[in-house]
Amino acid sequence: MTSTIDVHAAAQTFLAHTEAHLVSYLEACVHCGLCAEACHFYQASGNPEHTPAYKLFPIAQAYRRQKFPLAWLGLAPRIDADDLKHWETLLFDTCTLCGRCTTACPMGIDIASIVTGARRAFVAAGLGPADLLAAADSSREHGSPLGLTAQKLRERIEWLADEHGVPIALDKAKADVLLTVSSVEMMKYPESVVAMAKLLNHAGVDWTFSSKGYEATNFGYLSGKSDIAKLMVERIVDAAQSVGARTVVVPECGHAFGVLRWTAANMLGRPLPFAVLHISEFLAQLKRAGKLELTPLKESITYHDPCQISRRGGAARDARYLLEDFAEDFREMTPTGNLNWCCGGGGGVQAIARAADLRYKVFKIKMDQVEQTGAQTMVSSCSNCRLTMDESKAHWKWEGGLASLVELVADHLVEETKPAV
């Protein structure tokens, strides 16, 4: 088994991507261990191996052996296939790329960016969790990790539009806004798709889905398969260009937003020909423009900041702006915003079956946080967080409510005041 692991390929793949900032991050770690304090996996398991700095060890060693100015001395230990096998679990199952560790790091090291590079290296070596890699392959083959082909997209959109009596635009020849979808929503939370359509129609937005490029999630990126990561981005770019969209809206999915908004241009090597907005940012824009009139939300809620939207995405304020004057009993968790605890399933971890027990443990942190607020419902703007939380909730038979921000807003729309265009 271990003989199929190509250690050399791992090192070469990682080192091929070593830009100055990654290298300085690798060289600067002082092994203080503070990142463990910030990591939900370490906090939930108490396992020292879950310390973020430790997860970088094989990559740091590969770098020290080959590229470090003193590499010729041969002092750095050699990494072997068994090491890589061992670290595969740490790099894929126990990191959601949430970036919380960076907030604690006295050197300000962006550990998540190194983990992303490390995953690419591990995949090049022939490693990586089979189910996560299969989700990436399915994206390439079928257009989506959950097998949402263009044909299925069409069928489901037809069914949803019919069932809910809401027009859902697909393959319009021209549109200002290209809306994308997370297949998690389309397959498991289809009301979320209806809610987006309802809101965009209501605000008079000229929008469409496109069967050329619809999948917002990027399992190529999360699994370390760069070719698939790029392909997924290209599909959306093609779709946006063919409808002439100036804005691409990413649905409730944190990583989809993070990848398309902050990484995609760097993958392509050129700026994207459109603006990228997360649906919560887009709705906040509509609200600012006076295009969202809502009836008050009475039940007590708290908001779970998806890591890639708030901490690493810079959109924490927009979600709160949407809730302002709408959610009458809004309670913040402690900590919240940029320091929020992760759901436990981001960064592809949700797709890794063997990580389920660990995810459940992590969710206990969340449960405690919500219970401390006394809020009835935890609202999120990420369907991946929602799926992780739904599964963990079922595991613990937890009674707290879970909801989607977009669905809540759509459910409280004052429809008669602003007819759809």
Partner 1 sequence: MNLLAFARGPALTVALAVFVFGVAWRLLSLLLLPWARDLAVARATAPPALVGAVKGFVRHLWPPRPLARGALIVTVNGYVFHLGLAVIVFGLAQHILFLRGLFGVHWPNLPSGVISAVAVVTLASLFVALGRRLTNPVLKLISTSNDYFSWFVTMLPVATGLIAVSHLWAPYETLLAVHMLSVSLLLVWLPFGKLMHAFLVFLTRAETGIVYSRRGAEI
Least Cβ distance, residue 115 to partner 1 (angstroms): 15
Between residue 264 and residue 293, which ones bind partner 1 under the rule CB under 8 A?
264-266, 268-272, 275
Per-residue binding letters, 65-104, with partner 1 (x by CB under 8 A) = ----xx----------------------------x--xxx
* Residue 9 touching partner 1 (CB under 8 A): no
CA distances (Å), origin 130, targets 126, 158, 185, 226: 10, 33, 23, 16
Phi and psi angles of residue 134, each rounded to the nearest 5 degrees, phi first? -65, -35
- Cβ atoms 114, 25 nearer than 8 A: yes
Quickly tell me which residue has 């806004």 as its tokens.
177
Q: Which stretch binds partner 1 (CB under 8 A): 167-175, 293-301, 333-341, 409-417?
A: 333-341
Q: 52 Cβ partners below 8 Å, 6+ apart?
A: 35, 36, 38, 39, 42, 95, 101, 111
Q: Which of 6, 9, 12, 18 binds partner 1 (CB under 8 A)?
A: 18
Which of 8, 80, 82, 106 touches partner 1 by CB under 8 A?
106
Indicate whether 33 belongs to the interface with partner 1 (CB under 8 A): yes
Q: For the CB of residue 111, give the shortest distance to partner 1 in the complex, in Å.
A: 10
Q: Which of 7, 11, 38, 233 binds partner 1 (CB under 8 A)?
A: 38
Report the residue number, 178 or 194, with the smaller CB distance to partner 1. 178
Nearer to partner 1, 270 or 397 (CB): 270
Name which of 71 and 394 has its Cβ closer to partner 1.
Answer: 71
- Tell me which of 128, 313, 345, 348 binds partner 1, using CB under 8 A: 313
Give yes or no for residue 20 binding partner 1 (CB under 8 A): yes
Q: Report the C-alpha gap between 289 and 202 in whole angstroms.
A: 13
Cβ(323)–Cβ(408) below 8 Å = no
List strands edge to edge, sheet with 275-278.
Answer: 207-208, 177-179, 247-250, 275-278
Single residue of 14, 41, 42, 122 touching partner 1 by CB under 8 A: 42
Q: Are 180 and 214 in contact (CB under 8 A)?
A: yes
Beta carbon of residue 27, minimum distance to partner 1 (angstroms, whole number):
6
**29 touches partner 1 (CB under 8 A):** yes
Using CB under 8 A, which residues numbered 382 to 421 contact partner 1?
none
Query: What minimum distance in Å lies between the beta carbon of 254 and partner 1?
Result: 13
Minimum distance from residue 241 beta carbon to partner 1 (Å): 17
Q: What are phi and psi of 272, to 5 degrees?
A: -70, 145
Contact by Cβ (8 Å): 209, 153: yes
Helix, strand, coil % in the chain, rounded to nearest 5: 55, 10, 35
If the CB atoms of residues 165 and 271 are measured against partner 1, the closer one turns out to be 271
The nearest distance, CB 95 to partner 1, in angstroms, is 15
Candidate residues 2, 151, 295, 334; the one interacting with partner 1 per rule CB under 8 A: 334
Task: Pick the closest to residue 115 from 304, 312, 361, 360 (CA basis).
Answer: 312
What is the token pair recorded at 110? 């962006």
**What type of residue is 273?**
P
Which candidate, 134, 94, 89, 97, places its Cα nearest to that of 116?
A: 97
In this chain, which of 10, 81, 91, 105 binds partner 1, going by CB under 8 A? 105
Helix axes 81-93, 7-16, angle to 10 degrees: 50
Positions touching partner 1 (CB under 8 A) are 18-21, 23-25, 27-34, 36-38, 42, 48-49, 51, 53-54, 57, 69-70, 99, 102-110, 261-266, 268-272, 275, 310-316, 334-335, 338-339
